[in-house]
Structure 1
Amino acid sequence: MKSIAQRARTLEAKFAHDQEVHFKVEAQRNKLMGLWAASLMNRQDADTYADDLCLYGVEQPEGVLNRLKQDLEGAGVRVGEDVIHSQMVTLLRQAHEVLHTNGH
């Protein structure tokens, strides 16, 4: 039987791993969201915009939806918040599947 200290270390390691995976999945989702939004805005710098949105998501994880909404509105693209949110959910699943398939 494992000691309490061993069990605690195991749980801490699992928590750290789960947090790392969650971070990677959200970062990938934000990059994909940036590419999606850039295409709607007809931006020529799609990769740069996607990288910027990904970094923004690290700094302001809860602000990505609002940032996308503002950027799209600023570019004259009318997309409802529900559409943005739905795309975020879809791309979160996709990012999770890709990272899971790649063994992360």
Structure 2
Amino acid sequence: MTTFDKREEAFEKKFALDEEETFKAIARRNRLMGLWVAEKLGKSGAAADAYAKEVVAAEFEEGGDKAVLRKLMGDLSARGVAVGEADIVQRMAELLVIAIAQVKAGT
């Protein structure tokens, strides 16, 4: 194996690790969002954890941040909880920073 091949393989491994970290961070962010919204919906304990899992699953079922946002907005609206879309998007951004740090720290 040449030096170039080794270098290429190292870049591929790093890319795969970065993608895995991103995936984990987004899933963690969605879980944290679920817990945040669960609190606003008056859920706690096992009910809050179950709701957070639903939020994580929403991304996989429908795909992407828009699906998560749609679920959160729909659930809040159905319960008459007034939280604006901009507030949710801002909180998602804040929690993504926290989630990335947690994933990198291995917690």
TM-score between the two structures when normalised by the length of structure 2? 0.86
Alignment root-mean-square deviation, CA: 1.5
In structure 2, distance between residues paired with 1:18 and 1:69 = 30
Per-residue deviation, residues 65-90 of structure 1 (Å, max 9, x unmatched): 12111111111111111100111011
Structure 2 residue corresponding to 1:61, chosen from 54, 60, 64: 64
Whole-Å separation in 1 of the counterparts to 2:88 and 2:14: 32
The residue aligned with 1:71 is 75
Separation in 1, partners of 2:78, 2:5: 54
CA distance in 1, matches of 2:48, 2:64: 20
Higher relative contact order (CA 8 A, sep 6+): 2
Identify unmatched segments of 5+ residues in structure 2.
none
Report the identity percentage.
37
Q: Partners of 1:98 and 1:3 in 2: how far apart?
A: 34
Give the residue type in structure 1 aligned to 2:11: L
Number of aligned residue pairs: 102
Q: Which secondary structure does the structure 1 equivalent of 2:43 belong to?
A: coil
Cα distance in 1 for partners of 2:30, 2:16 equals 21
Q: Deviations over 1:41-72 (max 9, x none)?
A: 11241100001111222332231112111111
CA distance in 1, matches of 2:72, 2:11: 36
Q: Distance in 2 between matches of 1:31 and 1:17?
A: 21
